[in-house]
Structure 1
Amino acid sequence: MLGFLLIAYIFNFLDRQILGILAGPIIADLKLTDAQFGAIGGIAFAILYSFLGIPLAMLADRTSRSRVIAGSLAVWSAFTALCGSATSFIQLFIFRLGVGVGEAGGVAPAYALIADYFPPQRRARALAIFSLGIPLGLALGTLIGAYLAAWVNWRAAFIVMGAAGVLLAPIMLWVVRDVPRPKTPSAAAPRLSETFPLIARKPAFWLMAAAASCSSLAGYGLALWTPSVLERSFGFSLIERGQFLASIFLIGGTAGVFLGGVLADKLGAGDKRWYAWLPAVAWLVTAPLFALGLLSENATAAWLLLLIPNALNILWLGPVTTAVQHLVPQQLRSTASASFLLINNFIGLGVGPTLIGWLSDNYKVRFGDEALRYASVSVIGFYVLAALLMFLASRRITQTWVEDEAAPA
C-alpha cells in the first residue's frame, strides 16, 4: 500500500517539476514573460488545487480514500498530457488549472490512509517514506523532462509523463485498499462544519500552517525557478540543468525527508514538541546555505552549498504532517489534512513561483541578466520566518495532541 502511494506521489511532483526544467523552451516558444510563467507554475496550479482539496478529502472520508486517490491520479495525468498541446499562455494556464484539480485529491486522503495503516510509533517514518515522493518526483521530473525535451521537444515530455500516470491509475485502484474505520456517525459522514471549528480553535494548527506556508513559498518558488537560474547565471545547457538538479534532489531531498521521519518518531515519543523543533532548526540552517549557493560563481561550490538546504528544507514533512493527524479524531483526518494543505499550498504554491517571476521582471532594470538570481534570493528570508513560527507552535502541540482511539486493524 505504502509503496504504491509513494509511486503516485512521485508522479504528483514529477508532473509539477517538469514545468520548471522546461521553463527555457516554454518561455521561448510561447513568448512568455517571467511573471506569466510564474503565474502558470504558481497561481494557476494553486487556485483549484488548494480549494478543491477539502471537498475531495471530505468525499474520501465519507466514501473510499483509495478510490479518490486513483481517480485524482487519472485526472491530473490527463491534464499533464494536455499541457503538451498548449499554444498560448491562456491554454497552458487552463491546463495547469486542470492538473491542480486532479492533484487536489491525491495528498490528504493518502495522509489519512497511511495514518490508518500505521501505529503512532511508526507513523512519522511511514509519512516520511510517502513524502519521499517529493524529492524523487522532483529528481525524475527534472531529469526525464530534460532528456525528453532535448531528444524530441518540451511537448513530448508532458505527453509521455501524462500518459504514464493515466496507465498507472487503474493499477492503483486494484492494489490500494481502505482500512475499515470505526462505525460511528462522525466516521460515516464527517462534515467540514464539525472538523474545521475543531482545528480552528487550536493555535498549534494555525502556527504550523503558517510556518509550513512560509517554507513552501520559498521552496516551491525555488523548485520552479532554479533551473532557469542555472541557465541564465551559470550558462548550463538543458541536460546539464537536469543532471545538476536531479542529483541534488535525489541525494539531499531523500535523505532529509527520511531523516525527519526517523528523528520525529524517536524524539517525539519522549516529547511531542520535537515535531516542531526539528523543522524549525532545519529551516534556520537552510536559509543562509540557499543564499550562498544561489549567489556562488562556481558551479561545483553551488552544488555543494545547495545540497544541504535541499535536504533540510523538506525535513518538516514527516514531523508536521504527523502532528496535523493528531489534531483531530481518527475519522476526521483527511479533512483536517486538507484544511492544513489548503493554507500551505495556496500561499506556498500560489505565491512563491508567482512572486519570484514578478520580482525577476521588476529587477531586470537594475540587475539585467542576473535579475532572476536575485529574485530567487529575495524569498529565502521566509525560511527564517517559518522557523520562528514553528518554535511558537512547539509550545502548543502537547496540549492539543489527540491520541488514537484504537490500534489499526
Structure 2
Amino acid sequence: MTAATPAKRGSGYRVYVLAILIVVYTFNFLDRQILGILAGSIKADLGLTDSQLGLMGGLAFALFYTALGIPVAWLADRSSRSWIMTVALTVWSGFTAACGLATGFWSLFLCRMGVGVGEAGGTAPAYSLIADYFPPNQRARALAAYSFGIPIGTASGILFGGLIAAAIDWRTAFLCVGLAGVVIAPIFKLTVKDPKRGGDFDAGGQPIDEPLKAPEKAPGMGEVMKTLLPKPSFWLLSLGAAASSVCGYGVAFWLPSFFERSLGMDLVQRSLFLGALALIGGTAGVWLGGWLGDRLGGRNKGAYPLVAAIAFLIAFPCFFLAINVSNLWLAFILFLIPQGLNLVWLGPIITSIQHLVPGRMRSTASASFLFINNLIGLGLGTYYFGAVSDLLTPHFGAEALRYSIYSGLCFYLVSAALFFVASRRLQKDWVD
C-alpha cells in the first residue's frame, strides 16, 4: 500500500478524512463531557460530594490523559497515526461503557481514568494528520472544523446522556454512548490512511511506508523538546489556553448543576437547553475563530493569539451577565455569546502550535501543548469549581455554585493577558 497524499487522493478524500476525524472527536468529547449532565443523578445514587464529582470530571480523566499524551504522540510521529487513533477510540469508548457498571466513587474514578488513557491517543495524531492533508492557508479553518467535535460532542453528551438518563437511568446512558464509539473504530481504520509526514504542502514530506533511515527518521524526543521548549510563544500559548480551559471545562461541567440548583430546571429541560446552547454557540465560535485566524494570520502571525485574547475579554462580562438572569430565553441569548467566544481560540492557537516546529515534530509538539492545557485546565477546572462550591455552601447554600462560577471567570482575564503577550512573540518563533 502506498502512502496516501492529499494530491493523489484529491480534495474529496481530504474532506472525508476531516469529516470522520470530526466524528471521532465528537465521541471524544461526548464521552468526556457526559458526566456533567449526569452529575446530579450520580451524586444522589452514589452519595458523592461536589469535590468528588469535580475530581472525577477533572483529575481522574486528566491524570493519564496528560501523562500518556506525549509518549503516544512521539509514537505517532514514527508509526501509523490511524492505527493509534483506532486503538484509542476503542479503549476510551470501552471504559465509558464501563462507567455504567460503577458501584461507588473509586470504581467510577478508575473507569474515568481508563477513559483518559484512551483519549490520550485521540487528539495529537489528528492534529498532525490534518496539518498533512491541508495547505498552510487552509489549516486554521481545517483545524477549526475538526474542533467542531467539541461543541457537537458536548451537545450530544448533554442531550443524549440527559434524555437516556431521564427515560431509563444514568448507567444506561454510559453504556449506550460507550458502545456506539466501539462500533465506529473499525470504520475509521479501514477508511483513513496516513499521508506523507510533512504533507505535500511542506518541505521535506516523506511517505510513511518508506524506511525510516537517517537523516530522514523522525526526530527523537530530546530534539523535539530542544526545538520547542526554548520558544516563549510555546509557553505563552500553552498557559493561555490552560487558563481559559480552567474556566471552559469547569463551566461546561457545572452548568447543568447550576441550572438545577439555581433555576430549578429538571433533567430533560437542562439537556435540551444546554445541548442547544453548546451546539449553536460552540459551532459558531469554533468556525469564527478559524475564519478569522486564516484571514488575519496570513498577514500578521501575531493575529492568531490576538483573536483569542479579544474573544475572552468579551466573553468575561457576557458570562457574568448570563448567570444573573432568571428568564430562560434571555439567559439563552446571553449564554450563547460567551459559549461561542469560549471556543474561538481553538483554530488560531492550534494552528500556531503546529507552526512552532517542522512537520515531523507536529504530533509531539501538539501533545506537549495538550499536556499543559489539559493538566492545568481539565485537571484543575472541574475540581476548582466543585471545591469552591463545597467551601461556600455553609454561607450560600444552593447558591454556592453561582459564586464559585463568579470566581472562576477571572481565568479568562489571565488567558487574554497571556495571548496578548504571545501575539508580540509569535512571528519570531514561526516555522513555515
Q: SS of the counterpart of 1:105?
A: coil
- Match of 1:74? 90
The answer to whether 1:17 aligns with 2:30 is no
For 1:62, what is the secondary structure of its paired residue? coil
Change (3 A) 1:401 1:38: same
- Correspondent of 1:199 among 210, 228, 231: 228
8 Å contact kept, 1:61–1:187: no
Whether the aligned pair in 2 keeps the contact of 1:58 and 1:192 (CA below 8 Å) is yes
1:316 aligns with 2:345: yes
Match of 2:20 in 1: 4
Tell whether 2:414 aligns with 1:382. Answer: no
Stretches of structure 1 that go unaligned for 5 or more consecutive residues are: 404-409
> Are the equivalent residues in 2 in contact too, given 1:273–1:395 (CA < 8 A)?
yes
Partner residue of 1:130 out of 134, 146, 160: 146
CA distance in 2, matches of 1:152, 1:200: 49
Runs of 4+ in 1 over 6 A off after TM superposition: none
2:268 aligned with 1:239: yes
Deviation at 1:46, TM superposition (A): 0.5
Deviation at 1:190, TM superposition (A): 2.7
Q: Is the 8 A contact 1:186 1:331 kept in 2?
A: no
Give 1:363's aligned residue. 392
Note the alpha carbon deviations across 1:307-328, whole angstroms, 9 max, x for none: 0000001100000000000000
**Residue 197 of structure 1: CA displacement?**
2.0
Please show how residues 336-351 of structure 1 align to structure 2 within 5 Å: 336-351=365-380
1:329-382 residue CA offsets vs partner (Å, 9 max, x unmatched): 000000000000000000000000001110010000111110111112210010
Q: Provide the C-alpha distance between the structure 2 equivalents of 1:196 and 1:167, rounded to a whole number of angstroms.
A: 37
Q: TM-score if structure 1 supplies the norm length?
A: 0.97
- Cα deviation for residue 249 of structure 1 reads 0.8
1:150 aligns with 2:160: no
Structure 1 distance, partners of 2:288, 2:216, is 33
Choose from 242, 258, 273 the match for 2:302: 273
Q: CA deviation at 1:295?
A: 2.2
User: 2: distance between equivalents of 1:137 and 1:190?
Assistant: 34
Kept after mapping to 1: 8 A contact 2:218/2:361? no
CA drift at 1:188 = 2.8
State yes or no: 1:353 paired with 2:346: no
| Letter of the 2:327 counterpart | N
RMSD over aligned Cα atoms: 0.9
* Aligned position for 2:257: 228
Matches of 1:106 and 1:259, distance apart in 2: 24
Q: Structure 2-normalised TM-score? A: 0.92
Residue 218 of structure 2 contacts residue 360 of structure 2 at CA under 8 Å; is this kept in 1?
no
What is the CA distance between 1:297 and its match in structure 2?
2.5
Work out which of the residue numbers 137, 140, 146 in structure 2 matches 1:121.
137
Question: Greater shift after overlay, 48-57 or 177-186?
Answer: 177-186
Aligned with residue 108 of structure 2, among 79, 92, 98: 92
Deviates more, 1:322-331 or 1:371-380: 371-380
Cα separation, 2, equivalents of 1:152 and 1:324: 43
The CA distance in 2 between the partners of 1:238 and 1:248, in whole Å, is 15
Match of 2:179 among 131, 139, 163: 163
How far the C-alpha of 1:302 sits from its partner, in A, is: 1.5
AA at the equivalent of 1:257: V
Summarize the alignment of residues 98-113 of structure 1 with structure 2, pairs less than 5 Å apart.
Answer: 98-113=114-129
Q: Does 1:209 align with 2:225?
A: no
What SS is found at the alignment partner of 1:169? helix
Unaligned runs of 5+ in 2: 1-16, 198-204, 207-212
How much has 1:291 moved relative to structure 2?
1.3
**Is the aligned partner of 1:174 residue 2:187?**
no
CA deviation vs aligned residue, 1:206-261 (integer Å, no higher than 9, x gap): 00001000000000001110000000000000000001101111111000001110
Q: Deviation string for 1:359-406 (max 9, x for gaps)?
A: 010000111110111112210010011000000000110011101xxx
Aligned length: 403
Q: Which amino acid aligns with 1:163?
A: L
Distance 2:33 2:273 in 1: 14
* Superposed displacement of residue 186, structure 1: 6.4
Q: C-alpha displacement at 1:304, in angstroms? A: 1.2
Q: 1:35-66 CA deviation, whole Å, 9 max, x = no partner?
A: 00000001000010011000110111110111
Pair 275,4 (structure 1): closer, same or farther in 2 beyond 3 Å: same
- Preserved contact between residue 19 and residue 224 of structure 1 (Cα < 8 Å): yes
Say whether 1:293 aligns with 2:309: no
Which amino acid is the alignment partner of residue 238 of structure 2?
A
CA shift, 1:187, in A, is 5.4
Cα distance in 2 between the residues matched to 1:10 and 1:187: 34
Identity among equivalent pairs (%): 54
Amino acid aligned to 1:76: W
Aligned-partner SS, 1:127: helix
SS of match in other structure, 1:179: coil
